[in-house]
């Protein structure tokens, strides 16, 4: 049994196509997707159409990530709180308004966790962040990671969310993160996924990193209108696509810290653009020209 495990696509349909093509060439039997299908990148419907087409041909397993919860909750709460032309929520607004009712119904049909059981093989627990919280980060040498592993009955756990490819072993259990298809961290801008192959009473993993046309993805940011919708956010996206360094969360935290320092408080999502520009200047240096707004 050979399984391709993919996570955190974030709308990067070009990288997704490369990963799927590579997996099919390796003659995989099934695909496992660990959530965060769209968000950050342009033309989300292209990603969704690839996934719908794939599940017509291959056995596929899907779960929800935190992004899927965002879309579902935003709809349920009356589509309030996100704004166009705003670096804090503009990318969320763009992605949501390019999803269809079919997409939202698909996301609603998914669970946050699942256990995969194949005949004669060790069961596998799958989640996006962790089994207890969809946006929990399971990182090496972290007490919360060890606690999750100890409390999980399955010997193998697959998770995403951190965008960092890796393996953690603890008390006879194995936690595997395939990295991010669309926006990998510490991956030098490559698309990442993982192959699991059965081996008697165990699973053997192979981490895969692929070159793909990131410049075409960046071009999409500019021609789609997404760049205007979330300028600073897209600058972080472009930098990640090229380098695999400095996440949106890191820049967001810096922008909020600068806002609080100068104004006494800062409550998401009300972060003026000037603090995004200041954060970009501190963290990305001269990668992009600053256009500080008041």
Whether 67 and 175 share a structural domain: yes
SS3 4: strand
Rounded (5°) CA angle 40-57-123: 80
pLDDT tens digits for 127-162? 999 999 999 999 999 999 999 999 999 999 999 999
Domain containing 124 — which CATH number? 3.60.21.10
What confidence tens digit (pLDDT) does each residue in 75-114 have? 999 999 999 999 999 999 999 999 999 999 999 999 999 9
Same domain, 137 and 264: no
194 DSSP 8-state letter: E
181 in any annotated domain? yes
The answer to whether residue 110 is domain-embedded is: yes
Spatial CA neighbour of 185 closest among 170, 164, 169: 164
Number of H helices, E strands in the chain: 11, 10
223 within domain boundaries = no
Residues 158 and 121 in one domain: yes
Confirm whether 113 is domain-assigned: yes
Residue 181 and residue 257 in one domain: no
Task: Identify whether 220 is part of a domain.
Answer: no
Q: Which DSSP letter does residue 285 get?
A: G
Question: Is the per-residue pLDDT at 254 higher than 80?
Answer: yes
For residues 129 and 234, state if they share a domain. no
**Residue 195, domain member (yes or no):** yes
Structural domain includes residue 216: no
Is there a single domain that holds both residue 15 and residue 115? yes
Q: Is the peptide bond before 269 cis (omega within 30 degrees of 0)?
A: yes
* Domain hosting residue 261, numbered range: 228-287
**Cα atoms in the Cβ-side hemisphere of radius 13 Å centred on 261:** 9
Strand-by-strand arrangement of the 173-177 sheet: 113-116, 124-127, 156-158, 173-177, 166-170
Which of 210, 242, 270 terminates a domain? The answer is: 210
Question: Is the model's pLDDT at 216 over the cut of 50?
Answer: yes
The reply to whether 154 and 274 lie within a common domain is no
Q: Are residues 28 and 164 in the same domain?
A: yes
Residue 43 included in any domain: yes
pLDDT digits (tens, 9 = 90+) for 18-53: 999 999 999 999 999 999 999 999 999 999 999 999
Residues 6+ apart with CB under 8 A from 200: none
pLDDT of residue 231: 96
Q: Are residues 157 and 234 in the same domain?
A: no
Indicate if 206 and 232 belong to the same structural domain.
no
Provide the β-strand partners of residue 204: 197
**What confidence score (pLDDT) does residue 293 get?**
36
What is d(CA 139, CA 117) in angstroms, rounded to the nearest whole number?
25
- The number of distinct structural domains making up the chain is 2
Q: Which long-range contacts (C-beta less than 8 Å, at least 24 apart) are formed by 147-151? A: 148/175, 149/173, 149/175
């Amino acid at each position: 049994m050979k399984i391709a495990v993919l996570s955190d696509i974030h709308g990067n349909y070009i990288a997704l196509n490369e990963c799927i093509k590579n997996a099919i060439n390796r003659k995989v039997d099934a695909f496992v997707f660990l959530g965060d299908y769209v968000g950050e990148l342009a033309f989300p419907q292209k990603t969704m159409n690839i996934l719908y087409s794939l599940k017509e041909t291959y056995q596929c397993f899907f779960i929800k990530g935190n992004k899927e919860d965002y879309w579902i909750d935003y709809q349920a709460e009356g589509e309030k709180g996100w704004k166009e032309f705003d670096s804090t929520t503009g990318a969320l607004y763009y992605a949501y308004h390019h999803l269809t009712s079919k997409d939202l119904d698909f996301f609603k049909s998914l669970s946050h966790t699942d256990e995969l059981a194949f005949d004669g093989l060790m069961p596998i627990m799958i989640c996006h962040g962790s089994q207890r919280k969809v946006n929990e980060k399971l990182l090496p040498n972290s007490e919360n990671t060890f606690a999750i592993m100890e409390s999980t009955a399955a010997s193998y756990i697959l998770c995403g969310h951190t965008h960092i490819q890796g393996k953690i072993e603890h008390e006879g259990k194995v936690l595997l993160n395939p990295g991010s298809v669309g926006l990998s961290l510490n991956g030098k801008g490559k698309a990442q996924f993982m192959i699991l192959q059965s081996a008697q009473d165990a699973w053997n993993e192979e981490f895969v990193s692929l070159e793909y046309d990131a410049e075409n993805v960046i071009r999409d940011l500019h021609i789609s209108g997404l760049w205007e919708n979330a300028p600073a956010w897209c600058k972080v996206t472009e930098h990640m696509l090229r380098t695999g360094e400095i996440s949106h969360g890191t820049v967001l935290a810096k922008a909020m810290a600068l806002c609080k320092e100068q104004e006494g408080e800062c409550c998401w999502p009300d972060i003026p653009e000037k603090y995004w520009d200041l954060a970009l200047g501190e963290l990305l240096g001269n990668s992009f020209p600053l256009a500080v707004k008041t």
